[in-house]
């Protein structure tokens, strides 16, 4: 189901039930969520910084690997996806070197990097055969990441939850494919099986989905956050750099609940990025979400979500084939 499997890193070939990476979300993504995602056949991911101390990261990786290994041993034919760890490549992340050493020791299959071109992370991951995918929001970011030797790109387009770009996926993916034929994951308001298929139709290999997995039983989000996602629509999303210095999409009701007016937030400088040292903290108090929230109305377990996505994907594929047949001689 992954489109062109040969383009993907070896760890992803033949292991996916759907061509999906569940994006690593600050606070929200924890071992319970990652394990449930991988066991459902999609790549589960978490930010290294979610493990609040370096030794905690080691414990999390041990736990995730043990759970997936046990499931594979119990059913060798089951599609169990690999997991990924997100590393923030930025001066504010003083743990990067130590956390990458832990990832190397555990031979994490996929490293997802964000912000700065990750040359040092690429070298570390390649030392044991791991792969690195890098978040990008512009063509120039994509070019710099490829110069650093990454194995794949994650195009974070308009409408994605959290830190997101402003370009349409039609524009960014089209331009990137003019000079890059390697693995691409596409992010931006993807919450349904139809949208996963649409990402592939555009030329992506994988969909990159976050918001849909916040509203699941296993996610480490407070009930009010999950309920807010299930009750919101695209009109409830605000794009602002105020909270971290980097533009991102947030739920307006959470901003209001924190005592701020979402319509009168000042600008912020990304050089002052602190990932949450202010009195009102992004992710903890101000909740991220993408523009696809309007299609999310419940908070089921991950397995149910992935099963539903699979049915939607197959139904969309059948509809598309029937439609295309009317236009092909």
Which structural domains are found in the chain, ordered by start?
Answer: 6-221 (3.20.20.70)
Which of the pair, 268 or 44, is modelled with greater confidence? 44
> Each residue of 74-130: pLDDT tens digit?
999 999 999 999 999 988 899 999 999 999 999 999 999 998 889 999 999 999 999
Q: pLDDT at residue 230 above 80? A: yes
What pLDDT was estimated at residue 3? 47
What pLDDT was estimated at residue 260? 92
**263-267 mean pLDDT:** 81
Alpha-carbon distance 251 to 290, whole Å? 8
List strands edge to edge, sheet with 20-22: 20-22, 206-209, 184-187, 152-156, 131-136, 110-115, 83-89, 44-47
What pLDDT was estimated at residue 128? 97
Determine how β-strand 131-136 pairs with β-strand 110-115: parallel
Q: pLDDT at residue 44 above 60? A: yes
Alpha-carbon distance 215 to 33, whole Å? 11
Q: Name the pLDDT band for 277 (thresholds 50, 70, 90).
A: very low
């Amino acid at each position: 189901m992954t489109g062109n499997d040969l383009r993907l890193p070896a760890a992803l070939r033949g292991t996916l039930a759907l061509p999906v990476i569940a994006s690593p979300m600050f606070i929200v993504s924890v071992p319970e969520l990652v394990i449930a995602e991988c066991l459902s056949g999609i790549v589960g991911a978490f930010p290294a910084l979610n493990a609040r101390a370096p030794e905690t990261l080691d414990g999390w990786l041990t736990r995730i690997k043990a759970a997936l290994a046990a499931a594979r041993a119990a059913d060798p034919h089951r599609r169990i996806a690999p997991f990924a760890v997100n590393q923030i490549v930025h001066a504010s992340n003083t743990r990067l070197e130590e956390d990458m050493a832990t990832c190397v020791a555990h031979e994490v299959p996929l490293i997802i990097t964000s912000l700065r071109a990750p040359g040092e992370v690429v070298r570390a991951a390649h030392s044991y055969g791991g792969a690195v995918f890098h978040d990008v929001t512009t063509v120039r970011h994509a070019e710099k990441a490829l110069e650093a030797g990454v194995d794949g790109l994650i195009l974070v387009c308009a409408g994605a939850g959290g830190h997101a770009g402003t370009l349409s996926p039609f524009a960014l993916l089209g331009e990137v494919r003019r000079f890059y034929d390697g693995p691409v994951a596409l992010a931006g308001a993807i919450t349904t099986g139809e949208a996963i298929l649409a990402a592939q139709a555009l030329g992506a290999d994988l969909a990159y989905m976050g918001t849909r997995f916040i509203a699941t039983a296993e996610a480490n989000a407070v009930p009010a956050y999950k309920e807010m996602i299930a009750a919101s629509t695209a009109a409830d999303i605000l794009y602002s750099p105020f909270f971290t210095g980097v533009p991102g999409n947030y739920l307006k009701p959470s901003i209001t609940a924190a005592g701020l007016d979402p319509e009168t937030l000042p600008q912020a400088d990304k050089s002052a990025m602190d990932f949450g040292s202010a009195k009102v903290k992004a992710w903890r108090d101000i909740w991220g979400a993408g523009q696809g929230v309007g299609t999310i109305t419940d908070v089921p377990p991950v397995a149910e979500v992935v099963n539903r996505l699979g049915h939607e994907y197959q139904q969309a594929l059948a509809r598309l084939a029937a439609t295309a047949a009317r236009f092909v001689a």
